[in-house]
Amino acid sequence: MSDLRVRFAPSPTGTLHIGGARTALFNYLLARKEKGTFVLRIEDTDVERSTQESVDAILQAMDWLGLSYDEGPFYQSQRYDLYKAKVNALLESGAAYRCFCTAEELDAKREAAMQAGGKPRYDGTCRDRIDQPDAPYVVRFRSPLEGTTTFVDRIKGPISFDNAELDDLIIQRTDGNPTYNFVVVVDDAEMGITLVIRGDDHVNNTPRQIPMYTALGYDAPEFAHVPMILGADKKRLSKRHGATSVMDYRAMGYLPEAMVNYLVRLGWSCGDEEIFSMADLIEKFSLDNVGRSAGVFNPEKLLWLNEHYIKNGDPGRLGGLVAEVLAQQGVETTKGPDLAAVVKTLQDRAKTLVEMADGARFYYQAPTVYEAVAAAKFLTAESRPVLELLIRHLAEATGFDLAAIEAVFKQVMEESGLKLGKIGPVVRVALAGGSVSPSIYEVVAVLGREEVLTRMKKALASIS
């Protein structure tokens, strides 16, 4: 166990997105690699937008990806007493003060400042006021006016801000609830977080938070800001770029290991290596190799990785997953051929579990209608003799493994004088209902003698 303590702190206002998942992954990986502690904290101080459904969705997504945490989930909504006490401490020490400006006044000032071409900042109206009217107020943190705040980002290197750029941010709302920039400081400190790994969009918050650690009597943690993930148009990744939720990909038939592999390589690299198992990553991951610039989310590469993991996956496990997809589509898989055997015939031709399910369906549901074009071309009077020949020999074959089946086809080819190119398509339509299927010998073997004969006879009967 090392002293490293990291955390993932999502706000439950939606599902777990690609970007959040990567941040969580980086935290997880570093914690596991350094044998540190990974804390999960739910940032639900925005009562309006936080929902239990979102919490569940996030937890579920993390579980799917295999990102286990050591402590938590902690809910900020259950820690208000702590925040309240800290706000009061700041008020007493003078590090914070009450501000009686109304939201409307503030909006107007912000608008004006923006118009004037400046940075919209709080003008400090209540910073030094002595009277304390009996009116609604917010609490603001007294930020330093001069000097520079610098920190060394573990990914980006030294970053510094002029304190004059900062304004006094609100740490407690009119309704008494604390705000993000405050609770994040209190919690990261109270939970002993030593390294904050979070999105790039928080670099600007960092110089505002550092003085708060000091005012509260805490040591500031280290920071590592992970670059943003962009869409193909270089704009911040959002719904209009298509599926951005991790679970959307699960629904589309993606494997969690493909998602993890893709996510980690977006912004991190290890020489020329492309394929990483979670175990590899725990061994090899390092903040030193995380890039500093934003990256574009590339669904094609994710697809390729998924294809890779499907191709190399354990047939038994994949079979279970495909069965789930099929079940959702109302296809029963408990009766037909062995799922693992079915999967083996499809691993080289499916890029997703959904595609695999599409390819596997015919094994469990005999064709009720034949694909029109294929039937017109192959289920003709001309193919009757071939089907009859096949039915006879297949029924008589001593074994029914690949070798036996191949022998039967060889024999039929000889007797009919036809090449496999003529016979294969006929059998394919009869068994699978269309012109696309795995290798015909494999299909025959997996389907089994009884089912093959049934389907062939049915096809034969359809030719009239």
Partner RNA sequence: GUCCCUAUCGUCUAGCCUGGCCCAGGACACCGGCCUUUCACGCCGGCGACGGGGGUUCGAAUCCCCCUGGGGACGCCA
For the chain, the distance separating the N- and C-terminal CA atoms, rounded to the nearest angstrom, is 76
Cβ-based neighbours of 272, under 8 Å, separated by 6 or more: none
Contacts with RNA in 31-50 (CB under 7 A)? 43, 45-46, 49
Give the total of residues touching RNA (CB under 7 A): 83
Please say which residue, 348 or 450, places its beta carbon nearer to RNA: 348
Choice from 72, 73, 144, 295 touching RNA (CB under 7 A): 295
Q: State the Cα–Cα distance between residues 198 and 223, nearest whole angstrom.
A: 8
Q: Is 269 in the site for RNA (CB under 7 A)?
A: yes
Please say whether the beta carbons of 45 and 78 come within 8 A. no
Residue 44: both structure tokens together? 């639900």
Q: Which stretch binds RNA (CB under 7 A): 213-221, 277-285, 286-294, 455-463?
A: 286-294
Give Cα separations from 38 to 27, 246, 312 (angstroms): 7, 20, 30
Residues annotated catalytic, as ranges:
239
Q: State the Cα–Cα distance between residues 206 and 197, nearest whole angstrom.
A: 12
Choice from 83, 180, 249, 362 touching RNA (CB under 7 A): 180
The interface mask with RNA, positions 309-338, x = CB under 7 A, is --x---------------------------
Q: State the Cα–Cα distance between residues 68 and 59, nearest whole angstrom.
A: 10
Please say which residue, 169 or 196, places its beta carbon nearer to RNA: 169
Q: State the Cα–Cα distance between residues 141 and 98, nearest whole angstrom.
A: 9
Q: Which stretch binds RNA (CB under 7 A): 55-63, 125-133, 167-175, 385-393?
A: 167-175
Q: State the Cα–Cα distance between residues 424 and 82, nearest whole angstrom.
A: 74
Closest separation in Å from C-beta 90 to RNA: 16
Closest separation in Å from C-beta 238 to RNA: 9
Give the CB-side neighbour count of residue 383, counting CA atoms within 13 A: 28
Please say which residue, 108 or 327, places its beta carbon nearer to RNA: 108
Q: State the Cα–Cα distance between residues 346 and 61, nearest whole angstrom.
A: 27
Neighbouring-strand partners of residue 222: 195
Choice from 5, 17, 265, 361 touching RNA (CB under 7 A): 265
Q: State the Cα–Cα distance between residues 201 and 287, nearest whole angstrom.
A: 18
Contacts with RNA in 219-258 (CB under 7 A)? 227-228, 230, 234-236
Please say which residue, 103 or 327, places its beta carbon nearer to RNA: 103
Contacts with RNA in 425-454 (CB under 7 A)? 425, 428, 435-441
Q: State the Cα–Cα distance between residues 303 and 309, nearest whole angstrom.
A: 10
Closest separation in Å from C-beta 24 to RNA: 13
How does 122-146 read in b/e, with b if 16+ C-beta sit within 10 Å? bebebeeeeeeeeeebbbbbbbeee
Cβ-based neighbours of 89, under 8 Å, separated by 6 or more: 216
| Residue tagged 């009116």 (tokens) | 135
Q: Is 163 in the site for RNA (CB under 7 A)?
A: no
3-class DSSP state for residue 127? coil
Contacts with RNA in 6-25 (CB under 7 A)? 9-11
Q: Is 272 in the site for RNA (CB under 7 A)?
A: yes
Contacts with RNA in 94-153 (CB under 7 A)? 101-103, 106, 110, 114, 117-121, 136, 138
Angle between helices 299-312 and 256-265 (to 10 degrees): 140
Please say which residue, 103 or 395, places its beta carbon nearer to RNA: 103
DSSP 168: -
Please say which residue, 120 or 448, places its beta carbon nearer to RNA: 120
Closest separation in Å from C-beta 66 to RNA: 21
Contacts with RNA in 376-405 (CB under 7 A)? none
Give Cα separations from 454 to 116, 204, 394, 460 (angstroms): 82, 70, 11, 10
Please say which residue, 78 or 328, places its beta carbon nearer to RNA: 78
Choice from 348, 382, 401, 450 touching RNA (CB under 7 A): 348
Q: Is 162 in the site for RNA (CB under 7 A)?
A: yes
Q: Which stretch binds RNA (CB under 7 A): 90-98, 295-303, 375-383, 387-395?
A: 295-303
Choice from 36, 221, 267, 433 touching RNA (CB under 7 A): 267
